[in-house]
Structure 1
Amino acid sequence: MPAWPEHVMWWHVYPLGFVGAPIRDGVDPDAEVVHRLDRLEAWLDHVIGLGLNGLLLGPVFASETHGYDTVDHFRIDPRLGDDGDIDRLLAAARQRGIRVLFDGVFNHVGRAHPAFRSTTDKTSPLIRGRWIDGRFEADVFEGHDALVALDHSSPAVADLVVDIMCHWLERGIDGWRLDAAYAVPTAFWAEVLPRVRERFGDAWFLGEVIHGDAADIVQSSTMDALTQYELWQGIWHGISDANLFELSHAIERHDELLATFAPQTFVGNHDVTRIASAVGPDLVPHALAVLFTVAGTPSVYAGDEFGWTAVKEEREGGDDAVRPEFPASPAQVDDVDEAILEAHRALIALRRRKAWLWRAHTDVIEVANTAIALRTAIGDDAVVVALNIGDDPVTLPAADARERVAGDGNLVDGRVELGPRGWAVFEA
């Protein structure tokens, strides 16, 4: 894999929601272009100010509703803009040293996609399904009737995906997030990705995988990294359920993956309840302390740095709350939790200074239901994390900690003293 992901931390954005585009009423993908992408450019300095240097974009291609029902992978969604708009955004990111990842929805397409519409004359080699009584019944993605599955056994689908990837890499993106990669045979990725790497050897491929044998998936698919849902769940469940043994177990499992790859880590994304709603605003820094001190390629879901709250619901439109419109510029944000914003800045700065954390193992020094001490180290360089999610003061082993760089704990006689719901990160 390329070397640059070791030094990148992502700001994850859902573009259609971010710019306030209409989503739920059904959109004509051939509608008149509305130039909204410049709203994103106004936020790039905010990305740099946080200490991040990557822009992980959700769907930007023409679709009918939420972006995951693609109808044309070679055209920017007219609700966002056009080729000129995306070229300006990519150039503005490049000027600031910001890498850009596109969201590639290659498991399924929308019913308005030409590949599906052509099945009416039995000629499409792209859609998976069957003919029943003279009518084509397409397979769909996880029961969503609007999302028809591509036929990944078809050479034509492999050729199409290679062409799409290369087209946008040529235009200046740095890699791809592979949406629903878990639903696509690993053999398909193993055929497609090496072909793309022949032309773009520096491209990075991140697979969205929710469950399964992660190490085996990476090895058999040739993807560079996978989304680390097990660690995400261990962080927010461990904190919200006051059971840090679950977090400890997730960290140990996380470390086992490092022999194969460095996962993409997060505490929030466009598909889950915001971390401030999941654990409560006062415990968000605890979650961030884990995110930015364990191995992996971290991302921040846009808005989490302000402490925004929102709950994902299992219903149509249940994602909308976690995919809100943003104001025209960061200066117009008026609902900011300053403690959460400062925790982001301090911990991202620490991670920036210690790039070796990308693939370093974490030892659980001590754990109880409501308190945990972690030490991540390479050689003589180490970072120590001490967390208390309980309502009573605690002390934890200092594990050679020397200087506090974030949080509010104190070093006393080789122990870390934490107040109720206290946290601290130290260099050792």
Structure 2
Amino acid sequence: MKKARWWVLILAVVLAVAAVGAPRWAELARGTREARWAEWAREAAQALVRAFGREDRTWPDERIYFIMIDRFRNGNPENDYDVNPADPRGWHGGDIDGIIEKLDYIRDLGFTAIWITPHVKNAGRDYHGYGAVDFFETDPHFGTNETVKRLVREAHRRGIKVLFDIVVNHTGPRHPLVQERPDWFHPRRPIRNWGNPVEVQEGWLFDLPDFDQSRPEVREYILSYSRFWLEETGADGFRLDTVKHVPPEFWTWYIGELKKVRPDFWAIGEVWSEAPWELAIYQEAGVPAVLNFPVSLTARKVFAADGSMEELARTIASVMMQLPDPQQTGAFIDNHDMERFVTLAEWDRPLERLRLALTFLFTQPSIPIVYYGTELAMPGGPDPYNRDDFPWGQEEQSELVPFIRDLNALRERHPALRRGTFQDLLVDRWHYAYGRVYEGDVAVVVLNNHGQEAFAEPVPVADLGLADGTVLEDWLSGQRVTVTGGVIRPEVAPKTGAVFVRAGRR
């Protein structure tokens, strides 16, 4: 029996060495002996995790860092074609090499997945990637197809999953198909009535040529480039753009076909709507997950503009009730299509408000998605000013970097925050307390959105299985409370949050 265990260990080490790879060994060899062994140990451990799996991990266990390629980091000046960083609507030089250079930074922040904006070839000034002219080639500003493959390999080596941003609704106006196959597109007309699903699905969004997915040859074409990127790179899944502009029946077929390529294929769809029932349509059609716009937009109002916590609680309850799988959703506090959070909150204590919003983001049921630069409290107005270049060097001084690192560690350490039930404990205009429970792991979250008064009210916790005498500790501050008479009495300062877990489990 002991001999069998030794053989398993030896095989594991061999697999780890193979997973780290010869090029990486050469790279590690250039460091000091201590650094080489420390880095090897970390990478070998990650390789073993990939080889043997880890706790049946699913997407609700992940935390996603969202990157706009052109604005993140310039890793290869040789592909700086027509770059002008002073032009907010032009190319700035960010590329795939730049992301690869900063994968260690992303990993050390605690994120376990990245979502990158479309990397396929665009034309003119379409730095954002959503105006494709070739769905099978990487834009030369970003690198090559080989660069994209290397990104996925390097991310996986660090235990980071990769989501590509895939567009199936439209092309860029300069795509050759617009002239060669005009019958592949709906007639050119704008969307005027947003309450008419047919008009929303067939109109030209932002005057972009709109694919007619009812045509079999169009469906097969879309599937061909989607399958190409999945098979060629080993990416872990897709973020699907403009989902509600495409008929639900297409998504049923499309997701089914991609699951034939990879049974564990996962995607998260952009359904820009504050109505949970509308998100439910697409989950029911087969889209595995959807961006949680109802909760995310409400959270922006609550934490940046003093909206009511009661509205936030009602929105969460509505999503939990109406979606087939409410934990297969992604929440955010800002993204590339809206003003950055700190700009909304700049009228009053933006950093305090951002910290509170992030505490909510990392403790609510959806997958947390953080837009690049949030860890620096980057400001930004409407598009394109919400897409400024990442100011490298400032991350070393940012007080939010360790805070986000701490929140990532909290969510990783406590499965209740990733997989647990969700129960309101107390809610009023300014305060929100809720509990999360999973297989004995318990978290009690208390958020105080009041601008002047501390929160010191009793919070009922008996229904979470916490007996009198149980000592809880706030992950963020270290404050301890004891369950007495079925309640805890925390003290939470204005514009602050607390996350209580069993003492000793921080």
- TM-score for the superposition, normalised by structure 2: 0.73
Say which of 318, 323, 332 aligns to 1:266.
332
Structure richer in strand, relative to its length: 1
Say which of 77, 97, 114 aligns to 1:55.
114
Alignment of 1:126-275 (within 5 A): 126-129=184-187, 140-142=203-205, 144-145=206-207, 147-171=208-232, 172-211=234-273, 212=275, 213-214=277-278, 216-239=280-303, 240-257=305-322, 259-261=324-326, 262-275=328-341
In 1, the alpha carbon distance for the partners of 2:188 and 2:302 equals 45
Q: CA deviation at 1:53?
A: 1.2
- The verdict on how the C-alpha distance between 1:35 and 1:354 changes in structure 2, with shifts beyond 3 A counting, is closer
Query: Where does residue 31 of structure 1 map in the other structure?
Result: none
Q: Judge conservation of contact 2:89–2:384 (CA < 8 Å) in 1.
A: no
In 2, the alpha carbon distance for the partners of 1:170 and 1:184 equals 24
- The verdict on how the C-alpha distance between 1:11 and 1:156 changes in structure 2, with shifts beyond 3 A counting, is same
Equivalent position SS for 1:109:
coil
Equivalent position SS for 2:368:
strand
Equivalent position SS for 1:417:
coil
In 1, the alpha carbon distance for the partners of 2:104 and 2:449 equals 34
Query: Where does residue 369 of structure 2 map in the other structure?
Result: 299
1:94 aligns with 2:156: yes
Gaps of 5+ in 2: 1-55, 75-82, 190-201
Q: CA deviation at 1:422?
A: 2.8
1:272-304 CA-partner distances (Å, limit 9, x unpaired): 222222332111121112211121222111111
- The verdict on how the C-alpha distance between 1:36 and 1:178 changes in structure 2, with shifts beyond 3 A counting, is closer
Query: Where does residue 426 of structure 1 map in the other structure?
Result: 500
- The verdict on how the C-alpha distance between 1:24 and 1:387 changes in structure 2, with shifts beyond 3 A counting, is closer
In 2, the alpha carbon distance for the partners of 1:349 and 1:334 equals 18
Q: CA deviation at 1:259?
A: 4.4
1:112 aligns with 2:179: no
Q: CA deviation at 1:356?
A: 4.3
- The verdict on how the C-alpha distance between 1:129 and 1:345 changes in structure 2, with shifts beyond 3 A counting, is same
Q: CA RMSD of the aligned region, Å?
A: 2.5
Q: CA deviation at 1:187?
A: 0.6
- The verdict on how the C-alpha distance between 1:304 and 1:334 changes in structure 2, with shifts beyond 3 A counting, is closer
Equivalent position SS for 1:345:
helix
Higher-Rg structure is: 2
Alignment of 1:341-352 (within 5 A): 341-352=401-412
Q: Which residue type is aligned with residue 442 of structure 2?
A: A
Query: Where does residue 436 of structure 2 map in the other structure?
Result: 376
Q: CA deviation at 1:181?
A: 0.5
In 2, the alpha carbon distance for the partners of 1:176 and 1:210 equals 17
In 1, the alpha carbon distance for the partners of 2:262 and 2:215 equals 23
Say which of 50, 70, 92 aligns to 2:132.
70
Aligned residues: 398
In 2, the alpha carbon distance for the partners of 1:267 and 1:130 equals 34
Q: Judge conservation of contact 2:69–2:95 (CA < 8 Å) in 1.
A: no
Q: CA deviation at 1:337?
A: 3.6
Q: Which residue type is aligned with residue 337 of structure 2?
A: D
In 2, the alpha carbon distance for the partners of 1:233 and 1:408 equals 31
1:75-106 CA-partner distances (Å, limit 9, x unpaired): 11111111222122122112111111110111
Q: CA deviation at 1:420?
A: 2.5
Q: Judge conservation of contact 2:269–2:287 (CA < 8 Å) in 1.
A: yes
Say which of 398, 411, 417 aligns to 2:491.
417
Q: Which residue type is aligned with residue 396 of structure 1?
A: E
Equivalent position SS for 1:387:
strand
In 1, the alpha carbon distance for the partners of 2:444 and 2:237 equals 33
Q: CA deviation at 1:243?
A: 1.6
Q: Judge conservation of contact 2:415–2:441 (CA < 8 Å) in 1.
A: no
Equivalent position SS for 2:334:
coil
Q: Judge conservation of contact 2:248–2:281 (CA < 8 Å) in 1.
A: yes
- The verdict on how the C-alpha distance between 1:95 and 1:230 changes in structure 2, with shifts beyond 3 A counting, is same
Between 407-416 and 256-265, the greater mean CA deviation after superposition: 407-416
- The verdict on how the C-alpha distance between 1:295 and 1:148 changes in structure 2, with shifts beyond 3 A counting, is same
Equivalent position SS for 1:324:
coil
Q: CA deviation at 1:242?
A: 4.0
Between 167-176 and 374-383, the greater mean CA deviation after superposition: 374-383
In 2, the alpha carbon distance for the partners of 1:289 and 1:35 equals 30
Q: Percent identity?
A: 27
Query: Where does residue 316 of structure 1 map in the other structure?
Result: none
In 2, the alpha carbon distance for the partners of 1:26 and 1:246 equals 39
Q: Judge conservation of contact 1:360–1:378 (CA < 8 Å) in 2.
A: yes
- The verdict on how the C-alpha distance between 1:387 and 1:408 changes in structure 2, with shifts beyond 3 A counting, is farther
Query: Where does residue 449 of structure 2 map in the other structure?
Result: 389
Q: Which residue type is aligned with residue 313 of structure 2?
A: S
- TM-score for the superposition, normalised by structure 1: 0.86
Q: CA deviation at 1:68?
A: 0.9
In 1, the alpha carbon distance for the partners of 2:290 and 2:237 equals 13
In 2, the alpha carbon distance for the partners of 1:35 and 1:305 equals 19
Query: Where does residue 43 of structure 2 map in the other structure?
Result: none
Give the number of the structure with larger relative contact order, counting CA–CA contacts within 8 Å between residues 6 or more apart.
Answer: 1
Q: Judge conservation of contact 2:416–2:442 (CA < 8 Å) in 1.
A: no
- The verdict on how the C-alpha distance between 1:259 and 1:36 changes in structure 2, with shifts beyond 3 A counting, is closer
Q: CA deviation at 1:126?
A: 1.8
- The verdict on how the C-alpha distance between 1:259 and 1:217 changes in structure 2, with shifts beyond 3 A counting, is closer
